[in-house]
């Protein structure tokens, strides 16, 4: 990819931090925006940001997506080639407690990004969706060809809404958009609200861990380096209209508009108890387990069909769960000096 000017929203977040670093180190100019909210550790966000600010080709703006006036100014000033929208109110369980934050950030904020993209000749908008959109779907593995009309959390509904909004802009205004359905991303500098972080912290501190659905769950855990590799390769894979879709049953993952959806997952779900055992082995310490019922909004299993991604960019996840967890626990022990 030629050297480009790229906007990364949510740059102080987990995925945004790693993506911004890789893009800068590849010769691109990155403007990162983030509102540094308190949902996850602000200190961790600031530490990620400190690393990015050491890079000559990185510029940071503190702003919320809901601030449409400032968003428009940033777009006008920087004249971006590409936009990668990773900023969002994350978390399934938190959406039961604070639904308004999901409406404001994930819907209003994303609408502002779409408007700014269509008014500033953006070549390609890539945006974070989620495996959560599959909701009540029972067909495994999850394919972009499957219906995602039955979300089971407001977070999932907001991500499904993002996909619908993006398609509308692709259809009406010819804005090329690609939705990225991430599957349980993990790795160093990961989110403190995610299972790997919570389990590691509790085990290190000798506290019990909460094991929901009595451990009878599976997740398609995907290491951060595999996620970033796929996203970077997709930037220049600008969606092309597929005209014949107009005359047959539409495929949910593509369109007659310049619009695509991809799963980005490990394509290898892991049972929760095996996941916990792998963490215990990496730490050399057993967990005390508190078994609980499944929580509202939680899915029993996630499993990504990545055939479309493999065909387009030769995507093949390369990080075994044992290696990925070891890298995280090593980072955790060094970062917290434990």
Q: Supply the angle between the helices 14-25 and 42-53 in degrees, to the nearest 10.
A: 0
> Alpha-carbon distance 279 to 288, whole Å?
13
CA 26 – CA 94 distance, rounded (Å) = 36
Distance of CA 286 to the CA centre of its chain: 30
How many Å apart are CA 156 and CA 154, to the nearest integer? Answer: 5
Q: Hey, what are 95's tokens? A: 């959406």
Assess whether 155 carries a catalytic annotation: yes
- The catalytic position among 155, 169, 197, 332 is 155
Give CA separation, 134 vs 146, 168, 260, 303, in Å: 8, 20, 16, 10
Is the CB of residue 144 less than 8 Å from the CB of residue 261? yes
Q: Which residues are catalytic?
A: 155
């Amino acid at each position: 990819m030629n050297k480009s000017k790229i906007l990364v929203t949510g740059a102080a977040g987990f995925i945004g931090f790693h993506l911004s670093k890789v893009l800068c180190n590849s010769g691109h100019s990155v403007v990162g925006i983030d509102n540094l909210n308190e949902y996850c550790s602000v200190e961790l966000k600031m530490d990620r940001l400190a690393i990015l600010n050491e890079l000559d080709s990185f510029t940071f703006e503190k702003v919320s997506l809901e601030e449409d006036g400032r968003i428009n100014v940033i777009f006008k000033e920087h004249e971006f080639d590409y936009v990668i929208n990773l900023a969002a109110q994350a978390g399934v369980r938190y959406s039961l407690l604070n639904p308004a934050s999901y409406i404001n950030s994930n819907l209003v904020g994303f609408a502002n990004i779409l408007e700014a993209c269509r008014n500033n000749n953006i070549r390609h908008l890539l945006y974070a969706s989620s495996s959560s959109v599959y909701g009540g779907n029972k067909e495994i593995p999850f394919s972009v060809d499957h219906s995602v009309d039955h979300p089971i959390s407001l977070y999932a509904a907001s991500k499904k809404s993002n996909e619908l909004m993006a398609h509308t802009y692709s259809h009406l205004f010819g804005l090329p958009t690609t939705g990225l359905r991430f599957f349980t991303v993990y790795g160093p500098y990961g989110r403190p609200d995610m299972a790997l972080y919570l389990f590691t912290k509790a085990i290190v501190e000798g506290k019990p861990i909460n094991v929901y659905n009595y451990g009878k769950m599976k997740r398609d855990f995907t290491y951060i380096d595999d996620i970033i590799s796929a996203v970077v390769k997709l930037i220049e894979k600008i969606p092309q209209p597929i005209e014949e879709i107009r005359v047959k049953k539409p495929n949910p993952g593509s369109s007659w508009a310049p619009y695509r959806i991809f799963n980005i997952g490990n394509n290898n779900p892991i049972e929760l108890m095996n996941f916990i055992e792998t963490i215990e082995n990496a730490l050399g310490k057993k967990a005390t387990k508190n078994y609980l019922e499944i929580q509202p909004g939680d899915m029993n299993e996630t499993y990504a069909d990545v055939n479309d991604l493999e065909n387009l960019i030769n995507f093949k996840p390369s990080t075994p769960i044992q290696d990925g967890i070891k890298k995280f626990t090593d980072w955790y022990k060094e970062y917290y000096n434990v």
